[in-house]
Amino acid sequence: MRKIKSIPFLMLIVTFCLIVFSPLTNAEYSPIIKITTADVDLYDENLQEKSLSLSKNSIVIVLSEENGWAKVNYKSSVGYVQSKSLKQAVGQHMIVKSKVEPLVRITDTQQSEATGNLPVNSIVEVFEVGSPSFVFVRSEYLAGYVYKNTLVNPTEEARVVKEQAGLIVYSAMKTSSNQIGHRAVNSKVTMLAKYNGWVFVKTKDYAGYVQGSGLKHDLKPSKESIKKPTVPKPNLTGTKKIALTFDDGPNAKVTPQVLKTLKKYDAKATFFVVGEAVKKHPAVLKEVFNDGHEIGNHTYNHTKLTTLTVKQMHLQIQSTDSVVQAAIGQNPTVFRPPYGAYNKTVTNQLNVPNVLWTIDTLDWKHHDPKKTLQAVKDNAKPGSIILMHDIHQATANALDDILAMLQKQGYEFVTVSELLNNK
């Protein structure tokens, strides 16, 4: 019975591989790529037996989702994982550069079966998988693993739509594919790649293909690139003011402890919050705000922005603004990029100052109150911006000693905006 029962399932796998991993000519293929948020088990079609375990940050192709379960393909295995253990994967656009068309494989090994080739000079969406040699890619019709050394970052170039009727933005290099947007005449786009008469472009809201004949060079500088904020430099002279900043919260347990200590010393601080955490703990954020502290945007799920498309960057920022607005009635007044990673494309998405730090306590790394205190003690000076995290108990434990030490030295505790605007 067991052998007979397994035949349909094997046929399902074979059929799926033929559909998913083969180039399609008559239908558009745009797989949904997600990533595991923790170590998870992959179950069989009856949700009875575990077929294998997936580690955190594993890339999967989602085939369907229903009743809290997602049917996924992981390398050569098809099965079910709980939907709550997955989140949308964030990819980076790159160009295929190789003497020959690189093979797309089912797994990240050289011996793995190849399912197709990527055209040289075409653009693909790339997802890191922790392999020294391979990355996972998604193209128009293929998804799988390729060698990293066959891909390069695109060179961005400004272009303007010259067609009077404007240009339709397609999801693939054919007019029968999905229309994902329209760019009016004289509107600007950023060109990433050219291939077979098509141009891959990105805008503030989406990325896709347009017909290259409808574009011309942009000879004028973008007004947006001129007006967007740069990273302000704190005033390092004058009165002894210092800014305490806390990233990655709010946290239901630690943030209230931090607030209690700040209140003890009549200290004001800036909290760079993550949208996902705000959505879980809006009441905690409201408490932070009501205590007179400044709220900053730290993206929705702490993703490295320089790896994203413009649309994805915009979504990370705007989604956080929305949940903060819902919780406290106003948008964040400053921004801090996760990992301190930003470029001109990132700052072009901002309407508030982009703020880094001058003292990194590394509290997230050592979880040692004494080391956190020592980092501040060794580096504090007027105008310093101190980086800490209100998600670690060790940080809350260190804060009283830090404030006592700084107060004894005559420091006034202010928000980042107060520090940067001090004349």
Q: Where are the domains of the chain?
A: 13-150, 157-220, 241-420
Q: Which of 10-24, 65-79, 183-197, 376-390 has the lowest mean pLDDT?
A: 10-24
Q: What is the mean pLDDT of residues 129-140?
A: 86
pLDDT of residue 224: 39
pLDDT level of residue 422 (50, 70, 90 thresholds): low
CA-to-CA distance for 404 and 329, rounded, in angstroms?
Answer: 33
Pick the residue with more confidence: 386 or 209?
A: 386
241-420 fold: TIM Barrel (3.20.20)
Q: Can you tell me the distance from the alpha carbon of 396 to that of 272, in angstroms, rounded to the nearest whole number?
A: 16
Annotate 244-278 with b (16+ C-beta within 10 A) or e (fewer).
bbbbbbbbeebbbbbbebbeebebbbbbbbbbbbb
Please indicate whether residue 357 or residue 234 has the higher confidence score (pLDDT). 357
Q: Which of 247, 321, 363, 390 is catalytic?
A: 247
CATH topology assigned to domain 157-220: SH3 type barrels. (2.30.30)
Give catalytic status of residue 247 as yes or no.
yes
* Catalytic choice (93, 281, 298, 389): 389
- pLDDT tens, position by position, 227-252: 444 455 554 444 699 999 999 999 99
Active site residue 368: no
- 99-121 pLDDT, tens digit each: 899 999 999 988 889 989 998 88
**pTM listed for this prediction:** 0.49
User: What pLDDT sits at residue 122?
Assistant: 87
Higher pLDDT, 244 or 10: 244
| pLDDT (average), residues 152-161 | 89
E strand intervals along 165-307:
167-170, 179-183, 188-195, 198-202, 207-211, 215-217, 241-247, 270-273, 294-297
pLDDT-based confidence at residue 4 (cuts at 50, 70, 90): very low
Q: At 177, is the pLDDT very low, low, confident or very high (cuts 50, 70, 90)?
A: confident
Confidence of residue 153 (pLDDT cuts 50, 70, 90): confident
